[in-house]
Amino acid sequence: MTIVSNAPEIKYYNRMNGKVETEKVYGDKFIKFLYCSVAGQRIGKAFTNKYVSKIYGSLQSLPTSQGKVRPFINNFNIPIDDYEPGTRAAIDPRDSYRTFNEFFIRKFKPGKRSFATDPGTLPAFAEARYVGFAAINNEQLYPVKGHFLRAKDLLGSEKHAGTFDGGPLLIARLCPVDYHRYHYPDGGKVLDHFRVGGVYDSVNPLALKYKNQIFIENERYVSILETENFGKLAYIEVGALCVGKIVQSHLWSAPFKRGDEKGYFLFGGSTVILLGEKGKWEPSRDIIENTEKGIETYLHLGQEVGLRAR
């Protein structure tokens, strides 16, 4: 296998302990092969089409996948006592999940996470690694200079693009080891929603380095929200390699409250992107500063991720 470049370790800033840490990547060897080798780049389309991802994802709902759960928990040091157990009777909660997907979409126990209540604070809508920009434009450098950060490209449509041109942007990357439910950051209602078809490339930073159009080529689901404290938001769930399905668990016609669950991803790493109106709010200062350094900021669900403009 010929590697086109040395694949660097993935570093991120952990806000909870104030340290820069190295990510332990699930499927590390396969990701490096697929995106960092000549052979992998040649055959990549065979793995990134939606049918392969959906088939692989469906295998995680078979009873035979249950055997993967305990080794996964142990290998990635997942604090399983923070989560509600599965539906299988077991003494050890690690054995309580009937399938890998039941474990994958596990819920936090009540009280383990709380959402910032200050109306001027935008809470984290996913437990994830974030990058953020105060204003998106054609000169942004994430992960390399390109047009994929324009609103119309991320939305896959001109319809709402003008509302978000020049506005703030947050990208929340969920690793396979993370909690995979996503939430509304504020109260409000859904104005519009639509699917944008596409492929299922990995959203791993290694993949983004070698294929910088992922956020505008991957399949995604877009919701346009009217919120109580932050104006209009474009909420975009991005499918990724081996994501079996993007599930919307909240009824479109129903209003939502801050912290309500919006949906979840079945197996695979994935991403949620949030676009805002110009001048309404900005990402938190540490997120912007870390983004400028080229690293993500890891946050718990509900922590401050942005502030309303004053």
Q: Give the pLDDT confidence score for residue 2 in this predicted structure.
A: 37
Domain boundaries, the chain: 11-310
Q: Give the pLDDT confidence score for residue 244 in this predicted structure.
A: 52
Q: Give the pLDDT confidence score for residue 147 in this predicted structure.
A: 47
Q: How far apart are CA 194 and CA 217, in angstroms?
A: 15
Evaluate if pTM is beyond 0.75: yes
How many residues comprise the chain?
Answer: 310
Task: Return the CA Rg of the chain.
Answer: 19
From residue 274, how far is each of 50, 125, 156, 216 by CA, in Å? 23, 9, 14, 14
Select from 1, 3, 2, 7 the least CA-distant residue to 209.
Answer: 7
Residue 13, token pair as written in the block = 């800033």
Q: Give the pLDDT confidence score for residue 35 in this predicted structure.
A: 46
Select from 47, 59, 44 the least CA-distant residue to 266.
Answer: 59
Cis peptide before 123 (omega within 30 of 0): no
Task: Give the largest Cα separation in the chain, rounded.
Answer: 55
CB under 8 A, 24+ apart: contacts of 210-214: 210/4, 210/35, 210/36, 210/41, 211/35, 212/143, 212/144, 212/146, 212/148, 213/146, 213/148, 214/148
Q: How far apart are CA 190 and CA 177, in angstroms?
A: 29
Select from 239, 227, 230, 226 the least CA-distant residue to 273.
Answer: 239
What are residue 298's phi and psi, to 5 degrees? -85, 125
Select from 278, 239, 253 the least CA-distant residue to 161.
Answer: 278
Select from 215, 274, 223 the least CA-distant residue to 240.
Answer: 215
Q: Give the pLDDT confidence score for residue 145 in this predicted structure.
A: 43
pLDDT tens digit at each of 310 positions of the chain = 333 445 567 889 999 999 999 887 654 554 444 445 555 454 445 444 455 556 666 778 899 999 999 999 999 999 999 999 999 999 999 999 999 999 999 999 999 999 999 999 999 999 999 999 999 866 655 554 444 578 888 888 889 999 999 999 999 999 888 999 999 999 999 999 998 875 554 444 554 454 455 455 567 899 999 999 999 999 999 876 545 578 899 999 999 999 999 999 887 668 899 999 999 999 999 999 999 998 999 999 999 999 999 8
